[in-house]
Amino acid sequence: MLRQPTKKSRAMPEASVECGDTGQLIRDAKGRLLLELVRDDAVEIIERLRETHADVQGRAYLIRLDHLAERLGAKWQAKRDLIFDQLKSNFERKFLEPDWCIQVDETSFLAVILTLGEYKGALSAAELWFGVGQFFVGDVSKITPPLYEAIADDVDRMHLIPIDLNTYFDRADARPLRQTDAPLPPAGVEIATAAPLAIGTMTAIRGRTAGGAILKIGGRDLRVASAIEPVFEMKKLAMIGHRFEAVVSEAATNYPVDARALAAMDWNDREQVDLANIEQGLKLLQMRRPEQRKMVMVVPAAFSTFSSARARSRLMPQITAAAHQMGLKVLFEIRQLDGVPPGRISEVTSLLRPHCMTTMGHASAEPRAITALKGCGLAGACIDFDRGKRDNSALEAYLTAISAAARSSTGACLIQGFNNLQEMAIARQAGVSHASVKASALMMAKN
């Protein structure tokens, strides 16, 4: 069962309430329509949107049921749960994984349709609305479906953009985004031109919004947000903490920046991305209840960031204070170690040791790369799950080879970014000691 809202909406400066009945639809000073999610798992919903880039791709559709509530009047309270159950049932009959849906408040339903184009997905969402409208209140064919694009705006807030099915089109179209569709830039930040992304010299952080830090890289504004992935100890399949995963996109279009572009950044650029990711991750974790935080927070950053005295002097006080406040232990994940001499890795590891429980090194999913971490003072190897298509036996063989190399070289093996709990169960059989899973996997299992 979906949980009902339990907390009060935050007051926003220079904002006006759009819908007095729920107090959740708000217009900010820029005129943007925002929906605050006043529910315990709001952060997880926003994280899942960011993980899958569903909002960036225009595949997240918010359906408002205010018209049905008005037509039903006093009957709305009695029929509301039935309406949402039917929306969910109709959705699940038509769509399978990775598509998903969830009730987000008393009159809003979120449908994420990754398997269709934006326009066909919007049509399908409209059909859901027409279906329940016809069933519960009668003919609604002459009413424009109250449909919106949903874009992650803050850790518990969405930016809503009305969808007109007469003018809506797929982003695959070569035309630029319509002015009404493009998310407005934060105050004081200019929209970058449509030049190709160039990784160049980083200037200071240009601006900061609740939804992420705006960084200037190669003449482009990039937004850096953070998603926190649940981390499990595999022997008991027990959740032990969270890991901060950077979510980087172009500020003007919300288009994601891929891992190759991030790896190609120079040291100064990557340092700024790491700092922003960690600051956002700490913010997300502090918003969770104490029992949700567990015991450990995994803090990733590039070797160049951890080796920088400037970066350490900024990071360590923040991380130490946050860990003490939340009662958590810190595990540092050192990334981008290819070609770094073992002596230098050991040196940086010793500099980090006073500020953490332990350190692990990131490596590509190749036994030779994992073996290179041996003798560097690390307590384990972190490997990104490649999400390749394999049957269960092939996946177990693949993970067995990786975990064996990690055990012989460093001890522990943490595989990052599993898509579902079944993959984790196979990883456990393969000898993987720790794993992180996308927040969407836990939400899917829960819902």
pLDDT in tens, 143-181: 888 999 998 887 778 889 999 887 776 654 333 333 333
Q: How far apart are CA 396 and CA 155, in angstroms?
A: 35
- Position 237 confidence tier, pLDDT thresholds 50, 70, 90: confident
Q: How is residue 296 written in tokens? A: 């450990």
Degrees (nearest 5) of the Cα angle 412, 418, 424? 65
| Range of 25-29, 291-295, 311-315, 422-426 with top mean pLDDT | 311-315
- Domain boundary assignment for the chain: 16-162, 207-446
Q: How is residue 353 written in tokens? A: 């040791």
Query: What's the DSSP call for residue 74?
Result: G
Is there a contact between 125 and 168 (Cβ–Cβ < 8 Å)? no
Q: What is the pTM of this model?
A: 0.58
Of 39, 162, 155, the C-alpha closest to 105 is 39
Burial of 325 (0-12, 13-18, 19+ CB in 10 A): exposed
Residue 99 pLDDT > 60: yes
What's the distance, CA 277 to chain centroid? Answer: 12
138 versus 5: which is more confidently predicted?
138
Task: Using the structure block, give the residue that is written with the tokens 């340092």.
Answer: 271
Query: What's the DSSP call for residue 256?
Result: B
Alpha helices in 222-341 (DSSP H): 259-263, 267-287, 290-293, 303-306, 309-326
Full DSSP string of 364-383: -SSHHHHHTTTTSS-SEEEE
Q: Which residues contact 391 (CB under 8 A, 6 or more apart)?
A: none
β-bridge partners, 217: 202, 220
Q: How far apart are CA 234 and CA 241, in angstroms?
A: 13
Lowest-confidence segment of 126-135, 205-214, 235-244 by average pLDDT: 205-214
The CATH T-level fold of domain 207-446 is TIM Barrel (3.20.20)
Q: How far apart are CA 5 and CA 209, in angstroms?
A: 25
Q: Which CATH number among 2.40.170, 2.60.40, 3.40.50, 3.30.70 corresponds to the domain 16-162? A: 3.30.70
Judge if the upstream peptide bond of residue 98 is cis by omega within 30 degrees of 0.
yes
Chain segment 257-312, per-residue pLDDT in tens: 777 777 778 888 899 999 999 998 998 888 888 888 889 999 999 999 999 999 99
Residue 96's pLDDT is what? 83
* 3-class secondary structure, 92: helix
Strands annotated E in 178-271: 207-209, 212-217, 220-233, 238-250
Of 276, 30, 11, 285, the C-alpha closest to 159 is 30
Residue 439's pLDDT is what? 59
* 3-class secondary structure, 407: helix
Of 182, 252, 267, the C-alpha closest to 222 is 252
Alpha helices in 288-391 (DSSP H): 290-293, 303-306, 309-326, 342-352, 367-371
Q: How is residue 235 written in tokens? A: 């022997």
CB atoms closer than 10 angstroms to residue 196: 6
Residue 256 pLDDT > 70: yes
Strands annotated E in 11-114: 16-17, 25-27, 33-36, 60-64, 100-105, 108-112
Chain segment 342-397, per-residue pLDDT in tens: 999 999 999 999 999 999 999 988 888 999 999 999 999 999 888 777 888 999 99
Of 305, 168, 299, 186, the C-alpha closest to 245 is 299
Of 237, 240, 263, 205, the C-alpha closest to 384 is 263
Burial of 190 (0-12, 13-18, 19+ CB in 10 A): exposed
Is there a contact between 228 and 281 (Cβ–Cβ < 8 Å)? yes
* 3-class secondary structure, 318: helix
